[in-house]
Amino acid sequence: MSNPEFRSLFISNNRILSNLSDRIIMNFSSKLLPLFALALLGLSACSNQPGQNSRQEAPHFAVPELLPRAGGLSDGEFKKVQARYEVLKKHIEQEPAKPDAYVTMAQLYLNEARVTGKHHDYIPKARLVLDEALKYDPSNFGANITKASMLMTLHQFADAKSLAEKAIQSNPASAFAYGVLCDANVELGKYDEAVKASDMMLSTRPDLSSYARASYLREIHGDRPGAISAMKMAADAGAPGTEERSWALYNLANLFLNQGKLDTAAYIYNGILEERPNYPYALNGLASVKAARKDYGDGIELLVKASQLAPEHLFFEQLSDIYLAMDQKDQAGTMEKRVLDAFEQHEKGGWNVDREYAVYCANHDIKLPEALMRAKREMDRRPDNIDVQDTYAWCLYKNGKAAEAVPYIEQAMRFKSDNPTLHYHAGMIYTAGGNKTKAAAELRTALRDNPYMNVLYADEARKTLDSMRKI
């Protein structure tokens, strides 16, 4: 399907970024999804800090192995990764007391975790080589900021923030460090501080990563056109076929998907697959489009393919949602068990998954007391984060405590976000609390902003509105 507005994203990688000044002078009051694109290249050049003792003798260090990728997952790119791995391994073996090669190797592992979905294999390897680098130079900038980025992946946000702030003190010119700090502040609900860090990142290095963070911040604050504009710039700043550009395009498509603009979203997802065949997240995006159109069989097929390429639990969550929407309870139950097992594996690996676990269980009406307990625990950690407030409110509602949920859902909506899921949650909470006027307004807003929403929500929103009209 032709889509003239977005053809420039895919034809010869034409640049949308003709006015640099327009990009930099952005008063961001605008989401930060933990941006998986690490953009860590070049950090090792900054990591050689004073105090590093490169002459001390070091015992032999066994470099963790690089794992093969699933067939069809950017095979040509992986050959370059393999070559880079061998070079770094040789450097570590020849000069084991120099931290730089360890840092770059950790970055390679983290990127492979992202590309392949093999987080449980690669995160421990990255941690191991970072610990080795820090053993020789505890103040090494590259090692510390890479560790901070890894902590963000593990959802250890407060520790990541502390480490990023220390790293910035030693290297205040690092755009990447400001990016990690921005991410941490968003996750901790410190949005004003996140905006400041984003501004510093943009002024230091306007590129894909900095534009993407600006987009997330704008989305949080309800500026959807601004979020789309910034994410377009992020995508256009990337080289065609790279994972970083594909990730930016995927998030751009998601912005349209969340508006119910299925054709535009599908056009972008398909464009990603032309540049980077078999990109799992683009397959996941197309599955979301199929599910919204109730083409459940095609959606399942796409998600199965995506999960075979990269075992991301997100894909299994979406599969379970589709099975539940199809009222195929046995298949949904099998997939629910797989998702919960994945959460358990994450926790064993050092992840904090309390919010994700709580949301998933609340949506599927399983383990509701545990979901509420986890949501409350996350509220105690991050009381100002709007996603955490929404999760806690939703779990209170699901546990029959709608009145208690109201102040939390209202706090979550304080930025006037046009997130349809947030409005749906508010509508259902107000319904249970007896405030029919607010309930109807929120549910209408949710359906207006995205008539499809989550595959589990849209029909329920319509049924609830219809029941109000009959009263």
Within this chain, domains 29-237 and 353-469 share the same CATH topology: yes
pLDDT in tens, 351-381: 999 999 999 999 999 999 999 999 999 999 9
pLDDT, position 13: 52
pLDDT, position 58: 63
pLDDT, position 43: 55
- Does residue 4 carry a pLDDT above 70? no
Q: What confidence tier does 39 reach under pLDDT thresholds 50, 70, 90?
A: very low
For 47, the token pair is 């990591």
pLDDT in tens, 314-347: 999 999 999 999 999 999 999 999 999 999 999 9
Return the axis-axis angle of helices 243-257 and 224-236, rounded to nearest 10°.
160
Average pLDDT over residues 55-74: 83
Rounded distance between C-alpha atoms, residue 402 and residue 395, angstroms = 9
- Helix H or strand E encompassing 221: none
pLDDT, position 55: 44
**Which class does domain 353-469 fall in?**
mainly alpha
- Does residue 53 carry a pLDDT above 80? no
Mean pLDDT score of the chain: 90
Q: What confidence tier does 9 reach under pLDDT thresholds 50, 70, 90?
A: confident
pLDDT, position 46: 45
pLDDT in tens, 200-250: 999 999 999 999 999 999 999 999 999 999 999 999 999 999 999 999 999
Identify the weakest region by mean pLDDT among 125-139, 260-274, 423-437, 452-466.
452-466
The share of the chain scoring above pLDDT 70, in percent, equals 89
Average pLDDT over residues 375-393: 98
pTM of the complete model: 0.90
For 201, the token pair is 């990142």
Are 320 and 364 contacting, i.e. CB atoms less than 8 angstroms apart?
A: yes
CATH of domain 29-237: 1.25.40.10
Q: In sequence order, what are the residues at sequence separation of 6 or more whose Cβ sits closer than 8 angstroms to the Cβ of residue 143?
A: 47, 99, 102, 103, 106, 130, 133, 134, 137
Average pLDDT over residues 165-194: 97
Q: What confidence tier does 417 reach under pLDDT thresholds 50, 70, 90?
A: confident
Average pLDDT over residues 65-71: 94
DSSP secondary structure of 52-92: ---SS------PPPPPPPPTTSSHHHHHHHHHHHHHHHHHH
pLDDT, position 57: 57
Which conformational region is residue 205 in: left (phi greater than 0), alpha (psi within -120 to 50 degrees), or beta?
beta
Eight-state DSSP code of residue 451: S
pLDDT, position 320: 97
- Does residue 33 carry a pLDDT above 60? no
The share of the chain scoring above pLDDT 90, in percent, equals 83
Average pLDDT over residues 57-79: 88
Are 180 and 150 contacting, i.e. CB atoms less than 8 angstroms apart?
A: no
- Does residue 348 carry a pLDDT above 90? yes
Q: Where are the domains of the chain?
A: 29-237, 353-469
